[in-house]
Amino acid sequence: MIFPIIGAKDYIDQQGFLVQDCPTCHRNRTFAVYNTRRKLTLYFIPTVGVRSQHLMECMTCHGKWGIADAQWDDVQSQLMTQEQLASYMSRQESGQLERPAQRRAMPTLYQILQVDPSADPEIIDVAYKRLAMKHHPDRGGGDWSDDAMRTLNAARETLKDPQKRAAYDRSMGIVRLPDALRADDV
């Protein structure tokens, strides 16, 4: 049996930089914004693009997050070139700029459960149980523990249901390929 897939190649195009609060560091940080594309080369067929996604990466903790298509216009309007970022940082350090209003990015459901977006349902269960033990109100977590458990329960409910998870992933811009098309296994 001959498999038609020769190989896959990832392309990363830097779009610019962004300054905002990092969901991991919880501080105002610089993000690099990329457009990533994966292409497959098949026998007798030209190269085919199979995945494209915009990502942002914290330049301090190197956390990476997908940018949903619905958010791309807002992110794109805030992008800076390297020169603009250097000028911005210089003005901020010299006190010429006020610190921008804290615009807290909402964490994704994957960040809430502290799992990778490609995590299997079993991993999501383990992460949920670990966090539930830590934040459960009966464990003396304080006033915020009720909110934390509601957030954990909602994240688990969405990510455990295959249809809800697929819809959520699409809203985040995450594309899942069928196993037969995954280049990771090639």
Q: What is the pLDDT along the chain (186 residues), one digit of tens a residue?
A: 444 555 666 677 788 888 888 777 677 888 888 787 766 665 555 555 566 777 788 777 777 777 777 788 888 888 888 888 888 888 777 766 655 554 556 788 888 888 888 888 999 999 999 888 887 777 766 666 778 888 889 999 999 999 898 888 877 777 666 555 555 544
Q: What DSSP element (H or E) covers 110? A: helix 109-113
| Domain over 109-181 is classified CATH 3.20.20.220 | no
Q: At which residue do the structure tokens 């026998």 appear? A: 43
Q: Which of 86, 30, 85 is nearest to 61 (CA)?
A: 30
Do residues 117 and 175 make contact, with C-beta atoms less than 8 angstroms apart? no
Q: Which are the contacts of 132, defined by CB distance < 8 A and separation ≥ 6?
A: 149, 152
Identify the pLDDT of residue 157. 92
- Backbone phi, then psi, for 54, in 5-degree steps? -90, 135
The one-letter amino acid code at 141 reads G
- Backbone phi, then psi, for 149, in 5-degree steps? -70, -40
- Map residue 108 onto helix, strand or coil: coil
Identify the pLDDT of residue 20. 82
Identify the pLDDT of residue 185. 46
Rounded Cα distance, 163 and 74, in Å = 28
Domain residue spans in the chain?
A: 5-105, 109-181
